[in-house]
Structure 1
């Protein structure tokens, strides 16, 4: 006997609509200021400002990609895509993570070049433009922080804009140093600090989205602990073929083959275990195949997947 327990409601649809609104607002801010920054960069002869404008272009691209991924992920399951297109959000997070790492490589390369040949920069224009950029990016970060950042898709766009705000802070500080002291290498040092922050954010996105694509158990869920908890149920003799993964961020899923004692009622056992998984581990999408343990009948499949979980005092099948 198997069943799928789902905890759907209307809140997710409302959240997705609100998320799109927040992302669209941040996109409008970034695109508008990006045009201003290009003009300021040309006037000030500032490569730093032009680079920041290029970084803002990647921010805008990241948000557009996130919006497209959210629209694609909202498509209902159909045909061969039985889970729908929810993984599109994870692919978007992967692209955003890779983009951040590519920007790190660019900033490090440019940083080494500028340390050797620091360019002439108009400090006052850089400072004023960077301070305005801090304000615009802070507002964009605030908008994105109101969206559901449990989605790696939203988190990817958030990290792009957040790191751009750090870049503007560094640019403003370096502009002040260049303006007051003439130490032109300050711009490069600030860029390398920002590159280190981007490396951390990009690697985190790739790591977390990679776990989803490789169908690893979501962070915070231990399959062995879950197996022990299920096996501790009075009617359960053994749990095997236990799989815990995430279809997309915020969508933990579990399947397992559960053997209950002869005479136990499978339906009640399944409902009780599904409720336990939902309440204790917050897993609302569970598929449990529940069968009776019959004398002389080996319940294990010919190609077992993963460890067996059982209480040696109850299980007639030996130690797992």
Structure 2
């Protein structure tokens, strides 16, 4: 966070000096990166807090909230870059290629160091992935600024600056949308994207002979690494409920990685109607 925020100030100065949109866009992106990394750090700190009477699941979900905010920030940044790029294509301002190129090269080195630091972390964590995508966007922005600087120094053709900025923006749209969509699904208690509930229900009945019916099946994510499940299981009156419960929990853990489940065993039908 300190690395990105510190160089962001240098890049703003370089953008104002050279008149480069590519540098200014990259500086704006680095500002959101610094905020994203600060938010990610705060989320990890909060997620370590123990559960209490107010937060019975603890504070893990704040990691998802942070990732959602960072995904939205990426999309907002893309919108700003697009707006500025179109304006500069219509009315091209003067751009100093030399200062722009020098700042962009240093920026690329800084971003590569930040990428290396984040890339060693847990890539399955949406919070880490959000921060990493911000830094990847910075790397792309720095490369675009370097190319634009070289073209301007060699040919004097300044439209290359907003054109490459548009290209970087297009590359970031997919990452921002994917991240926002995934985190919103978690916040809305949606089922994991990779999980087919009908398939889970069928496999559960096939794998455990005591199970005669499955309903009120709900699966959601506390975080991307913490799936949760509740379900009503119908068994015959002669079957052993404790043994069935143990087998179901072992099946869910071994085949779906679900280690936190609440299972209601029923013998005489379900008291809740209609089934959902």
TM (normalized to structure 2)?
A: 0.95
Q: CA deviation at 1:214?
A: 1.5
Aligned match of 2:235: 260
Equivalent residue for 1:235, pick from 210, 215, 218: 210
- In terms of mean alpha carbon deviation, does 126-135 or 267-276 score higher? 126-135
Structure 1: 5+ residue stretches without partners: 1-26, 306-320
Superposed CA RMSD: 1.5
Q: CA deviation at 1:66?
A: 0.8
8 Å contact from structure 2 (residues 22, 164) kept in 1 = no
SS at 1:247 equivalent: strand
Aligned match of 1:157: 131
Q: CA deviation at 1:272?
A: 0.8
Higher helix share: 2
Aligned match of 1:203: 177
Aligned match of 1:40: 14
Q: What is the distance in 1 between the residues matched to 2:194 and 2:269?
A: 33
8 Å contact from structure 2 (residues 71, 176) kept in 1 = yes
Structure 2: 5+ residue stretches without partners: none
Deviation string, structure 1 residues 193-247 (Cα, Å, up to 9, x no partner): 1111121111011110011011111122111111111112111111111111101
The number of residues matched between the two structures is: 275
Deviation string, structure 1 residues 111-159 (Cα, Å, up to 9, x no partner): 1110011121111221121111111111111111111121211111111
Q: What is the distance in 2 between the residues matched to 1:177 and 1:96?
A: 33
Q: CA deviation at 1:77?
A: 1.6
Aligned match of 1:302: 273
Taking the TM superposition and a 5 Å limit, the aligned residue runs for 1:164-183 are 164-183=138-157
Q: What is the distance in 2 between the residues matched to 1:46 and 1:230?
A: 60
8 Å contact from structure 2 (residues 22, 144) kept in 1 = no
Q: What is the distance in 2 between the residues matched to 1:236 and 1:38?
A: 64
Q: What is the distance in 2 between the residues matched to 1:192 and 1:270?
A: 56
Aligned match of 1:74: 48
Equivalent residue for 1:251, pick from 213, 216, 226: 226
1:285 aligns with 2:260: yes
Q: CA deviation at 1:180?
A: 1.0
Q: CA deviation at 1:47?
A: 4.0
In the TM superposition, structure 1's runs of 4+ consecutive aligned residues that sit over 4 Å from their partners are: none
8 Å contact from structure 2 (residues 67, 126) kept in 1 = yes
Q: What is the distance in 1 between the residues matched to 2:15 and 2:144?
A: 16
Taking the TM superposition and a 5 Å limit, the aligned residue runs for 1:18-97 are 27-97=1-71
Equivalent residue for 2:192, pick from 218, 230, 241: 218
SS at 1:225 equivalent: helix
SS at 2:223 equivalent: coil
Aligned match of 1:100: 74
Q: What is the distance in 2 between the residues matched to 1:115 and 1:122?
A: 16
Q: What is the distance in 2 between the residues matched to 1:48 and 1:258?
A: 58
Report the CA distance shift for 1:112/1:125 in structure 2 as closer, same or farther (over 3 A). same
SS at 2:104 equivalent: helix
